[in-house]
């Protein structure tokens, strides 16, 4: 597939390649990035190999500071462990690194996203009788609620960008948009200005 540019000429790059390059530019040198598999992994590793050589890549399987020579097929790919500075347990990744606020950026993907930032990676259709059953949450809910910033990479199609996700796997701002923002607004209206972070 080729992408047609604004002036109507063919560009010799795919939409996925352009999205990967654009997303990679969101990472800065020295940031700590929790990486999802697929396009997020491509973008994070491109950043590491180009403009951000000191970015610290962390995968859910427990690899910290990994520098794979080839793109991993999954979070359990041995390439990640062979090229990592450190391999720890999954509970340590989530408790010590993610939930403790040590992750600057989380790179995620999903099957669906809605206008309130809710992500679906569980089912397409009704949960009880889905049209498609997907891999599920993995660490996405924890990444979305605990990382300093979240970048979602998703192909721009009508099936992916939906008015309301079929299943809320990862909470953004809730079904009505009143999730985190609404909670902060209600606290402000009450005069409660203490700093709290609303979490899913």
Residues 34 and 105: beta-carbon distance below 8 Å? yes
Catalytic residue status for 128: no
Q: How far from 112 is each of 52, 78, 99, 137, CA to CA, in Å?
A: 29, 29, 25, 12
Q: Give residue 54's Cα distance to chain centre.
A: 20
Residues 155 and 161: beta-carbon distance below 8 Å? no
- Distance between CA atoms of residues 72 and 172, nearest Å: 27
Burial of 20 (0-12, 13-18, 19+ CB in 10 A): buried
When computed from its CA atoms, the radius of gyration of the chain, rounded to whole angstroms, is: 18
Which residues, at least 6 apart from 5, have a Cβ–Cβ distance to it below 8 Å?
Answer: 11
Say which of 60, 79, 82, 142 is annotated catalytic: 60
Given its phi and psi angles, is residue 125 left (phi above 0), alpha (psi -120 to 50 degrees) or beta?
left
Under DSSP, is residue 180 helix (H, G, I), strand (E, B) or coil? helix
**Residues with catalytic annotation?**
60
């Amino acid at each position: 597939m080729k992408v047609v540019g604004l002036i109507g000429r063919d560009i010799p790059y795919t939409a996925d390649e352009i999205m990967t390059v654009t997303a990679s530019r969101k990472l800065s040198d020295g940031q700590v990035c929790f990486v999802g598999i697929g396009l997020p992994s491509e973008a994070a590793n491109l950043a590491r190999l180009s403009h951000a050589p000191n970015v610290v890549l962390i995968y859910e399987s427990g690899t910290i500071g990994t520098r794979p020579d080839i793109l991993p097929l999954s979070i359990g790919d041995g390439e990640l462990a062979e090229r990592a500075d450190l391999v720890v347990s999954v509970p340590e990744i989530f408790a010590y690194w993610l939930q403790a606020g040590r992750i600057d950026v989380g790179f995620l993907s999903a099957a669906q996203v809605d206008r309130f930032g809710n992500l679906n990676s569980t089912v397409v259709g009704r949960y009880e009788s889905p049209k498609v059953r997907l891999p599920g949450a993995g660490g996405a809910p924890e990444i979305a609620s605990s990382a300093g910033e979240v970048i979602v990479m998703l192909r721009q199609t009508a099936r992916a960008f939906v008015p309301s996700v079929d299943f809320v796997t990862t909470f953004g701002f809730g079904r009505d948009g009143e999730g985190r923002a609404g909670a902060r607004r209600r606290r402000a209206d009450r005069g409660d200005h203490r700093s709290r972070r609303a979490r899913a």
